[in-house]
């Protein structure tokens, strides 16, 4: 047998993105990957059944390569034109395409830390030059430092993950007026926020807004995201896109979901009510420092019975919860995130299970 070829140096050193645990058995209270605690609109399953037909014959055929009906519906939903929209196999697909389109060893990709930890992985795959800008503990947007960055592409999780902190549009505009590159507002969680950056698209060609059906629209399992941007940006990204990047069932499902605005307004409102109640319990009830959240998760600093906080305390809480079959997320690799846990907002019943588990952890 012949030997395998030597891996490329940047591939050899690459650390893949670590997704949150997706247990295959049931019985978990799953608050670790920011999925929606409610099912999608009933119109989604209907649309999938319609697309499949009696015998699934439609599956013989490739999907619409440009997701054209979905692009048009997304454009109409946001008051934009279909040329302003690209649809991806999850917003991760579009992040990958943006990095491939704009970044290389001489064209920097910028991002904030903490932020969505996929960004540095994608930039490393592209052998891109990078610039990371650190938040302080207050998590205020470092407007001037981002504005001064010479990154060709700047990826900004807005509202931020994993902290949940939202950024006012005036601050985003401060960045957009000065930035030399394309600024991507990764708005995976914006449907849960008081404000979003879509209205800024009309005034700033250098803004792109990234959205997903995975969180607010309860379709994480189907993988659909979209990018809103200037038609020139969309045309460039389209050159790199896999021709059939969004499958037939996902296109039909996302289209049906988009058509049921009342259903999703209710889902988002319920998640926000549960979130705000859970925030008050953490802050007033337990006295735990917790960032105010504009998302469907809470970033909180567990305090043990002795009043101690820190990375070891957070890990102990994580492990205790896991033993009680409650999954949350711990980001141990950065000083600003290591003392915290990120807890997805579940149903009120799931949050009650979490509360009980935290009560008993604090007593031990």
Interface positions with ligand PMP (CB under 6 A): 90-92, 116, 157, 161, 186, 188, 212, 214, 220, 225
Closest approach of ligand PMP to the CB of residue 267, in Å: 17
Closest CA to 304 of 360, 248, 352, 347: 360
Question: Got the DSSP string for 217-253?
Answer: TS-TTT--EEEE--HHHHHHHHHHS-TT-S-HHHHHH
Count other Cβ atoms within 10 Å, centred on residue 86: 29
What is the closest distance, in whole angstroms, from the C-beta atom of residue 8 to ligand PMP in the complex?
Answer: 25
* 122 versus 161: smaller Cβ distance to ligand PMP: 161
Going from the C-alpha of 347 to that of each of 36, 188, 272, 274, 277, the distances in angstroms are: 9, 20, 11, 7, 12
Which residues make Cβ contacts (< 8 Å) with residue 276, sequence separation at least 6?
none
Nearest approach in angstroms of CB 7 to ligand PMP is 26
- Residue 248 burial (CB count, 10 A): 18
Q: Which CB, 70 or 357, lies closer to ligand PMP? A: 70
State which residue, 191 or 320, has the beta carbon closest to ligand PMP.
191
Residue 352 CB, nearest approach to ligand PMP (Å):
25
From the list 360, 295, 316, 25, the residue with the least C-alpha distance to 163 is 295
Closest CB to ligand PMP among 187 and 350? Answer: 187
Closer residue to ligand PMP in complex, CB, 223/248: 223
- Phi and psi based region of residue 135 (left: phi greater than 0; alpha: psi -120 to 50; beta: remaining): beta
Min separation Cβ 226 and ligand PMP, Å: 9
- Closest-CB residue for ligand PMP? 90
Question: What's the token pair of residue 194?
Answer: 């008081």
Nearer to ligand PMP, 279 or 331 (CB): 331
In the complex, least distance from residue 157 CB atom to ligand PMP, rounded to whole angstroms? 4
Owner of token pair 């979003």: 196
């Amino acid at each position: 047998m012949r030997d395998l070829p030597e891996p490329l140096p940047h591939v050899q050193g690459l650390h893949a993105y670590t997704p949150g645990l997706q247990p295959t058995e049931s019985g978990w209270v799953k608050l670790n990957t920011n999925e929606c605690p409610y099912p999608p609109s009933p119109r989604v399953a209907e649309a999938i059944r319609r697309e499949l037909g009696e015998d699934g014959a439609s599956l013989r055929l490739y999907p619409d390569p440009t997701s054209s009906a979905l692009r048009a519906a997304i454009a109409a939903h946001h008051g934009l034109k279909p040329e302003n929209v690209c649809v991806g196999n999850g917003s991760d697909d579009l992040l990958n395409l943006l990095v491939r389109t704009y970044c290389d060893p001489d064209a920097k990709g910028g991002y904030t830390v903490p932020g969505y930890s996929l960004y540095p992985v994608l930039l490393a795959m592209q052998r891109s030059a990078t610039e990371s800008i650190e938040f302080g503990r207050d998590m205020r947007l470092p407007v001037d430092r981002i504005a001064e960055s010479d990154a060709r592409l700047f990826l900004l999780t807005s509202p931020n993950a994993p902290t949940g902190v939202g950024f006012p549009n005036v601050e985003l505009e401060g960045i957009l007026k000065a930035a030399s590159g394309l600024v991507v507002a990764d708005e995976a969680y914006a449907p849960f926020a008081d404000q979003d950056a879509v209205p800024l698209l009309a005034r700033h060609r250098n803004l792109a807004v990234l959205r997903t059906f995975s969180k607010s629209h309860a379709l994480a399992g189907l993988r659909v995201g979209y990018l809103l941007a200037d038609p020139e940006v969309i045309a460039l990204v389209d050159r790199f896109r896999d021709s059939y990047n969004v499958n037939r069932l996902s296109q039909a499902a996302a289209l049906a979901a988009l058509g049921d605005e009342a259903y999703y307004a209710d889902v988002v409102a319920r998640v926000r009510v549960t979130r705000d109640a859970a925030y008050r319990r953490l802050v007033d009830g337990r006295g735990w420092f917790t960032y105010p959240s504009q998302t469907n998760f809470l970033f909180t600093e567990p305090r043990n019975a002795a009043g101690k906080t820190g990375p070891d305390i957070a890990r102990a809480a994580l492990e205790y919860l896991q033993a009680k079959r409650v999954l949350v997320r711990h980001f141990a690799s950065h000083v600003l995130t290591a003392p915290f846990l990120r807890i997805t907002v579940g149903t009120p019943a799931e949050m009650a299970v979490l509360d009980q588990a935290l009560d008993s952890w604090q007593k031990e």
